[in-house]
Structure 1
């Protein structure tokens, strides 16, 4: 397991730079998922941002996206 402290990374969402704080394990998983889907991190982050609504922050929405991705992969219900 890597360092559990969140690390900030900048992404561009619809032309605007923003910082997202995620633990390194989530960053790595997010990168892997984007690559599997043939998307850039900015593109995937923008899709998640658009779908999340206002009830959660972007970092939380990305963590949930990663979790759901791996649950689906292993045949677990969401």
Structure 2
């Protein structure tokens, strides 16, 4: 099941609370099961424990950002840094029409009407005009 299937099904995610030790201090974190799975995978790949990954995130995050939010951003940055063009091709990425088909969405469902609810222009942005941001590295996580 891919992310689009999960979203279409209303998401099977419900938050799961787990106790972890961050910088020697026990704390509780609530994340979606998919996020816990990603943390587990990263810890295995990096040959450490989830506690170690979360401690590293705690050290690098902005003090005004919650640990939970910083973990989610870290997961996205970690996997984003690992993506390759070949991997995207193997996954069938690169064709929004294919993505819409997998999501069972129609073009009409995705585009806002010409007039918004308040009578103003809808302001829809065409997907092709969105430029991908430069992929940040873990070292740029300061300020998550």
Which TM-score applies when normalising by structure 1? Answer: 0.89
**Hey, what's the Cα distance between the residues in 1 that align with 2:62 and 2:28?**
18
2:70 maps to 61
**Hey, what's the Cα distance between the residues in 1 that align with 2:12 and 2:24?**
30
The Cα offsets for residues 21-65 of structure 1, whole Å up to 9 and x where unpaired, read as 000000000110111111111111101011102121001111111
Unaligned runs of 5+ residues in structure 2 are 1-5, 85-133, 137-144
Once the two structures are superposed, the pairs formed by residues 9-20 of structure 1 within 5 Å of their partners are: 9-20=18-29
Structure number with higher strand proportion: 1
Which TM-score applies when normalising by structure 2? Answer: 0.50
Unaligned runs of 5+ residues in structure 1 are none
Q: Establish whether residue 27 from structure 1 lines up as the match of residue 36 from structure 2.
A: yes
The Cα offsets for residues 3-27 of structure 1, whole Å up to 9 and x where unpaired, read as 3211100001232210000000000
**Hey, what's the Cα distance between the residues in 2 that align with 1:35 and 1:68?**
17
Structure whose alpha-carbon radius of gyration is higher: 2
**Dislocated runs of 4+, deviation >6 Å:** none
